[in-house]
Amino acid sequence: DTEVTQTPKHLVMGMTNKKSLKCEQHMGHRAMYWYKQKAKKPPELMFVYSYEKLSINESVPSRFSPECPNSSLLNLHLHALQPEDSALYLCASSQALAGYYEQYFGPGTRLTVT
Amino acid sequence: EDQVTQSPEALRLQEGESSSLNCSYTVSGLRGLFWYRQDPGKGPEFLFTLYSAGEEKEKERLKATLTKKESFLHITAPKPEDSATYLCALNQAGTALIFGKGTTLSVSS
């Protein structure tokens, strides 16, 4: 089973709201990722967790706050977002952080900021 | 600087008309080259990993090949359900995937 699940599928939030995106995998993978994808563009990396520790933060604004409660779960907490943050947010996982392993993506959360 | 360039940006085929998608890359030490398929509004679906020049992998109507500078995704006798955006990616120093901009394939019956 190579399934990564994400909830919710769609999210509409105002600029003053606080919300969270959730991601789960049960493949025993030790690396998990958040990507952001705008229309007709490839995914862009936001954060990487390796063995539940934040490994990479690609200079993402502090209004995005990641959390890895355990090896299977990854959250992305959202606060005071801007309309330009509207995008498809993708979670992915891989066996480990080494470059040889493929990453498996979830279906994404379509976020709209009003 | 590691780079991935895909061509063409868009490709329209008739059902049964075979063709190839190109992914050119420059990287200091290839760890893996990955192909993904992405349908509109969905997450990328993993297709293949290629590790070394000369390697080939197949899945149904798709065949991926790798040289020292390029990878090709050959589509044999495509069907309308093969319509999607195909993404090529490298893994940069064991961290993020560097994606090409993708090739959007449309197959009409």
pLDDT single digits (tens) B51-83: 999 999 999 999 999 999 999 999 999 999 999
pLDDT at B1 (0 to 100): 73
Residue (of A82, A99, A81, A86) closest to A36 by Cα position: A86
pLDDT at B31 (0 to 100): 84
Mean pLDDT on B41-60: 96
Mean pLDDT on A48-77: 94
Nearest-CB residue to A110 (from B41, B45, B87): B41
Q: Give the closest-approach CA distance of A13 to chain B in angstroms.
A: 19
Q: What is the mean pLDDT of chain B?
A: 94
Q: Is A23 on the interface with B (CB under 8 A)?
A: no
Res B8 pLDDT > 70: yes
Mean pLDDT on B19-38: 93
Estimate to the nearest angstrom the gap between the alpha carbon of B94 and the chain centroid. 20
Residue (of A79, A114, A111) closest to A8 by Cα position: A111
pLDDT at B28 (0 to 100): 81
Res B94 pLDDT > 80: no
CB < 8 Å to A100, chain B: 31-32, 49, 51, 91
Half-sphere exposure of B20 (CA within 13 A, CB side): 12
CB atoms within 10 A of CB B28: 8
Distances in whole angstroms, Cα of residue A89 to Cα of each of A34, A108, B58:
7, 5, 30
pLDDT at A1 (0 to 100): 65
Mutate to test the interface with A, among B4, B95, B98 (most CBs of A within 10 A): B95
Q: In a 3-state reduction of DSSP, which class is residue B80? A: helix
pLDDT at B83 (0 to 100): 98
